[in-house]
């Protein structure tokens, strides 16, 4: 369409006034038909220069060469409009970025009349756009490349819009997996339940930013500690378009922080503990019953000294001073010596020494220790000393007590054995002999009982002094217990030397002792055993010396005897006999024989004495004297005595007469506290009337524990049994005994009966006994009456009863004579 003239003019003027756009018309061939000021401004040509020129000159050479200008016109012609941007050239050859529109202008009948061309210089806009693009690209690359931070965007509802490398690394999701999901997937169920995701977004919306630390989840469900920032993003108009979210995994930092915190707490705890410990150690050091001194190893200044140390060594404060300034001179030397030793040895030095201290001479047990301080380089010497004076004294005392007899101060059995062992090992290989002597006092028990234990003790002390004075320094005198002593004589030349020593000991004992105004005599028996001749073992030697002692006593006391193998043989036989006796008790080889007792001048058998017989299966009949002493020594006498008692009671109960039966009791049986009960039981078991039983005891019962034994005798008598004093006149007999207990019968020992005819003394004793007995109304039985003459004489002397072969020997119960008249 072509404009009418008027409007054409108006339009031309309008076009001419537009300066920002180059507006001009091209002919269908592309020739510039007109030119406006905007075109002149944009392209630099004046109208007269360019009208009539082909428009392709505005294109770059390359485009012109490829025919681009005409192609563009063709497009406009074909489609009605061509629009593009591209480089165009100004008149001066400079290029500018042009926004170009080419509109085809057609006549009403559709014929192409030309082209309207509008060009705008957009170089500035383009440059600005390019710069912005570059900036955005750099920023995107930067954000995506950040791997330490998870950086991503959320839309307004909290869905993830994009995802960087750091986010992938931190949370484990790839961009494809996570974009579009709601960001609350990173929160723990607890936090989700508490509405934390929403609250964070809300804060960011309200205040522009939300910051926090907390636990978040990775894709694999693991948890990590994170610091989070959510920033609200607004467009240029201030409209909220979403959120930027920056998250950093701070697990490591958090762990370090926690560790630091723990380490700090631990250190604080430690330091409180240390302070406590140090206070405790201080109080320990000041309270231990030992002296503690710490010195600097090089300067020797005293760094620490507890109260005990100051009390022991000094009168002044010691800390911070040198030993020579505050210690007594003797102590200085001692302490210096200890310090030097520790420095030389470099290890703990333990010593025990007497030291002159503030409390006098004391034995100190000290430990000195050099303490090398690797860190500070300062070395210390620690000195700890205990005052062991009292401890050593106590130990020595205990040791002495354990090895000595309290009464005499002599070595005891333990020390004796040790010394004997030592003497024997020393004598090995040399020619000399070692003698072991066993000593036992004769009659000591009697003295103890009569004069009292205190007196006995004094006697033992006096005796031990006398014995000691007879011995050499190298000899050992020991008290083994009671009145038993023993001697070691080492280094002897001959047996005779031992004999002489034994003789001297016996001689030394002989003179009477004067104690508390009493004179008193004791005898001593000695047994000697010799090493190496008899034996080389200490135990064996002592046993042998003991056997020899036994033999000495048997042979009459106050003498010595040397061990000989036969004694050992006797001892062995005795042991064999003991075993035999046990068997005899077990199998009932012990029997009772009965010997009649005659009264009323031979007219009547009033009773029988029961006497034991051992029917040995191979050795035949064994008499009481051959096994009673052994039974007494071994303690078998209690069983043997019970057996005798029960047999006698049972048999007598079956006789059907009122005759008495007399049973012998050994003094040893009185040591059995059950004696009275045993007799009562024998009576009850047998049914024997108590008054038909007589118990015969010897004077020894009155010697040993006389008071206790008299009590037992009274208890027996209270049962209703009679008590006889057997073998009267032998031993330590004294008519005084007759008054000490109301005996029912005295039996005059047969030795007097046998001697009576020839010995006036024997007769005098018999007379004294009968006289005394008759006046006290005690029956007398003369034992061992073998002849009519003896019988007649005893009758004349006032004897009331008789026993002996004249009337009958001891025989088994069923063989006993029951009536007199027939002479045996």
726 binds Mg ion (CB under 5 A): yes
Report the partner that residue 628 touches, choosing among ligand C2E, Mg ion, none (CB closer than 5 to 8 A by kind): ligand C2E
The answer to the question of residue 696 lying near Mg ion (CB under 5 A) is yes
Q: Is 694 in the site for Mg ion (CB under 5 A)?
A: no
**Residue closer to ligand C2E, measured from CB, 498 or 778:** 778
Is 773 an interacting residue with respect to Mg ion (CB under 5 A)?
Answer: no
Cα–Cα dist 411/467, whole Å: 13
SS3 state at 396: helix
Residue 595 interacting partner from Mg ion, ligand C2E, none (CB closer than 5 to 8 Å by kind): ligand C2E
Strands (E), 635-765: 660-664, 693-697, 722-728, 745-748
Of 727, 743, 773, 804, the one binding Mg ion (CB under 5 A) is 727
Q: In degrees to the nearest 10, what's the CA dihedral of 811, 813, 819, 824?
A: -10
The three-state (H, E, C) secondary structure of 6-38, written as one string:
HHHHHHHHHHHHCCCEEEEEECCCCEECCCCHH
| CB of 31 or CB of 676, closer to ligand C2E | 676
Transcribe 64-132 into DSSP letters: HHHTHHHHHHHHHHHHSEEEEEEEEE-TTS-EEEEEEEEEEEE-TTS-EEEEEEEEEE-HHHHHHHHHH
In angstroms, how far is CA 557 from the centroid of its own chain?
58
The string of DSSP letters for 300-349 reads -BEEEE-HHHHHHH-SS--TTSBHHHHS-HHHHHHHHHHHHHHHHH-S-E
| Residue 666 binding result from ligand C2E, Mg ion, none, given CB thresholds of 5 to 8 Å by partner type | ligand C2E
Q: What is the nearest approach in angstroms of ligand C2E to the Cβ of residue 474?
A: 47
Q: Least CB distance from residue 701 to ligand C2E, whole Å?
A: 11
Smallest separation, CB 697 to ligand C2E (Å): 9
CA dist., res. 273 & res. 275, Å (int): 5
Asked if 642 interacts with Mg ion (CB under 5 A), we say: no
Smallest separation, CB 398 to ligand C2E (Å) = 46
Pick what 805 binds: Mg ion, ligand C2E, none; C-beta below 5 to 8 Å, kind-dependent.
Answer: ligand C2E
In whole angstroms, the minimum distance from the beta carbon of 803 to ligand C2E comes to 6
The residue ranges that bind ligand C2E (CB under 6 A) are: 595, 611-612, 623-625, 628, 641, 644, 664-666, 696, 726-727, 783-784, 786, 803-805, 810
Q: Which does 38 bind (CB under 5 to 8 A by kind): ligand C2E, Mg ion, none?
A: none
Looking only at residues 780 through 809 of this chain, which bind Mg ion when binding is defined by CB under 5 A? Answer: 783
Cβ nearer to ligand C2E, comparing 331 with 698: 698
For the chain, state the CA radius of gyration: 69
Which residues within the stretch 731-750 sit at the binding site for Mg ion (CB under 5 A)?
none
Give me the 662-681 binding string for Mg ion, x by CB under 5 A, dash otherwise.
Answer: --x-----------------
Q: In angstroms, what is the minimal distance from the CB of 714 to ligand C2E?
A: 20
Please state, in angstroms and as integers, the Cα–Cα distance from residue 52 to each residue in 14, 24, 686, following that order. Answer: 22, 12, 181
Q: How far is the CB of 750 from Mg ion (least distance, A)?
A: 7
- Residue 693 interacts, among ligand C2E, Mg ion, none and using kind-specific CB cut-offs from 5 to 8 Å, with none
* Cβ burial 446-472 (10 Å sphere, 16+ → b, else e): ebbbebeeebbebbbeebbeebeebbe
User: From residue 392 to residue 421, what is the string marking binding to Mg ion with x (rule CB under 5 A)?
Assistant: ------------------------------
User: Residues 328, 301: contact at Cβ < 8 Å?
Assistant: no
767, 797 contact by CB (below 8 A): yes
Q: Judge residue 75's burial from the number of C-beta atoms within 10 Å of its C-beta, 0-12 exposed, 13-18 middle, 19 or more buried.
A: middle
Judged by beta carbon distances under 5 to 8 A according to partner kind, the member of Mg ion, ligand C2E, none in contact with residue 440 is none
In the complex, minimum distance from the CB of residue 726 to Mg ion, in angstroms, rounded to a whole number: 4
Alpha-carbon distance 194 to 820, whole Å? Answer: 132
Closest CB 626 distance from Mg ion, rounded Å = 16
Closer of 356 and 786 to ligand C2E (Cβ): 786
Contact footprint for Mg ion (CB under 5 A): 664, 696, 726-727, 783
């Amino acid at each position: 369409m072509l404009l009418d003239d008027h409007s054409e003019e108006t339009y031309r003027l309008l076009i001419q006034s537009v300066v920002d756009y180059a507006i001009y018309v091209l002919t269908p061939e592309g020739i510039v038909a007109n030119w406006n000021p905007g075109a002149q401004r944009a392209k630099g040509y004046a109208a007269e220069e360019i009208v009539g020129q082909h428009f392709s000159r505005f294109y770059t050479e390359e485009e012109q060469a490829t025919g681009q200008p005409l192609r563009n016109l063709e497009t406009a012609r074909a489609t009605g409009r061509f629009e593009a941007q591209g480089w165009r050239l100004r008149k001066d050859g400079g290029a500018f970025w042009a926004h170009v529109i080419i509109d085809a202008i057609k006549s009403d009948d559709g014929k192409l009349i030309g082209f309207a061309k509008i060009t705008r210089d957009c170089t500035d806009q383009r440059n600005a756009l390019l710069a912005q693009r570059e900036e955005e690209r750099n920023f995107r690359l930067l954000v995506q490349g950040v791997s330490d931070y998870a950086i991503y965007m959320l839309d307004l509802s909290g869905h993830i819009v994009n995802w960087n490398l750091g986010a992938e690394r931190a949370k484990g999701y790839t961009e494809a997996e996570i974009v579009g999901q709601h960001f609350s997937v990173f929160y723990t169920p607890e936090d989700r339940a508490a509405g934390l995701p929403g609250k964070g977004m809300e804060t960011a919306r309200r205040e522009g930013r939300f910051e926090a630390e907390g636990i978040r989840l990775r894709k694999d469900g693991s948890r990590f500690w994170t610091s989070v920032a959510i920033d609200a993003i607004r467009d240029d108009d201030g409209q909220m378009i979403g959120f930027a979210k920056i998250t950093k995994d701070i697990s490591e930092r958090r762990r370090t922080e926690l560790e630091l915190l723990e380490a700090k707490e631990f250190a604080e705890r430690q330091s409180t503990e240390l302070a406590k410990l140090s206070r405790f150690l201080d109080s320990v050091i000041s309270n231990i019953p030992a002296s503690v001194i710490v010195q600097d190893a090089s300067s020797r200044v005293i760094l620490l000294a507890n109260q005990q140390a100051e009390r022991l060594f000094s009168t002044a404060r010691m800390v911070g001073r040198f030993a020579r300034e505050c210690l007594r001179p003797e102590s200085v030397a001692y302490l210096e010596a200890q310090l030097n030793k520790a420095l030389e040895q470099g290890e703990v030095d333990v010593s025990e020494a007497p030291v002159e201290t503030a409390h006098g001479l004391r034995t100190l047990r000290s430990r000195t220790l050099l303490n090398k301080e690797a860190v500070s380089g300062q070395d210390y010497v620690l000195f700890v000393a205990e005052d062991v004076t009292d401890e050593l004294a106590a130990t020595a005392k205990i040791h002495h007590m354990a090895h000595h007899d309290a009464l005499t101060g002599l070595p005891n059995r333990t020390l004796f054995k040790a010394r004997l062992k030592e003497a024997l090992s020393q004598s090995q290989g040399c020619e000399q002999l070692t003698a072991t002597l066993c000593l036992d006092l004769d009659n000591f028990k009697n003295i103890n009982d009569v004069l009292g234990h205190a007196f006995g003790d004094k006697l033992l002390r006096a005796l031990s002094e006398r014995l000691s004075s007879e011995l050499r320094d190298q000899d050992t005198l020991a008290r083994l217990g009671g009145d038993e002593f023993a001697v070691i004589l080492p280094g002897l030349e001959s047996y005779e030397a031992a004999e002489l020593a034994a003789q001297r000991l016996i001689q030394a004992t002989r003179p009477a002792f004067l104690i508390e105004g009493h004179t008193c005599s004791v005898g001593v028996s000695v047994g000697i055993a010799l090493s190496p001749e008899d034996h080389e073992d200490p135990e064996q030697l002592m046993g042998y010396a003991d056997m020899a002692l036994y033999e000495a006593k048997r042979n009459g006391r106050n003498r010595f005897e040397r061990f000989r193998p036969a004694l050992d043989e006797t001892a062995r036989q005795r042991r064999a006999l003991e075993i035999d006796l046990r068997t005899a008790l077990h199998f009932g080889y012990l029997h009772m024989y009965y010997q009649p007792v005659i009264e009323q001048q031979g007219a009547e058998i009033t009773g029988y004495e029961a006497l034991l017989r051992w029917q040995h299966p191979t050795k035949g009949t064994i008499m009481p004297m051959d096994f009673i002493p052994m039974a007494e020594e071994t303690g078998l006498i209690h069983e043997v005595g019970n057996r005798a008692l029960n047999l006698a009671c049972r048999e007598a109960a079956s006789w059907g007469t009122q005759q008495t039966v007399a049973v012998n009791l050994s003094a040893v049986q009185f040591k059995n506290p059950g004696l009275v009960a045993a007799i009562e039981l024998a009576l009850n078991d047998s049914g024997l009337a108590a008054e038909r039983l007589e118990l015969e005891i010897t004077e020894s019962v009155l010697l040993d524990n006389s008071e206790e034994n008299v009590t037992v005798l009274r208890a027996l008598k209270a049962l209703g049994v009679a008590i006889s004093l057997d073998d009267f006149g032998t031993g330590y007999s004294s008519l005084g005994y007759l008054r000490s207990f109301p005996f029912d019968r005295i039996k005059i020992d047969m030795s007097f009966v046998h001697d009576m005819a020839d010995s006036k003394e024997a007769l005098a004793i018999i007379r004294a006994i009968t006289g005394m007995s008759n006046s006290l109304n005690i029956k007398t039985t003369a034992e061992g009456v073998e002849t009519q003459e003896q019988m007649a004489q005893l009758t004349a002397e006032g004897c009331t009863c008789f026993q002996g072969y004249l009337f009958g020997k001891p025989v088994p119960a069923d063989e006993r004579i029951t009536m007199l008249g027939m002479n045996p």
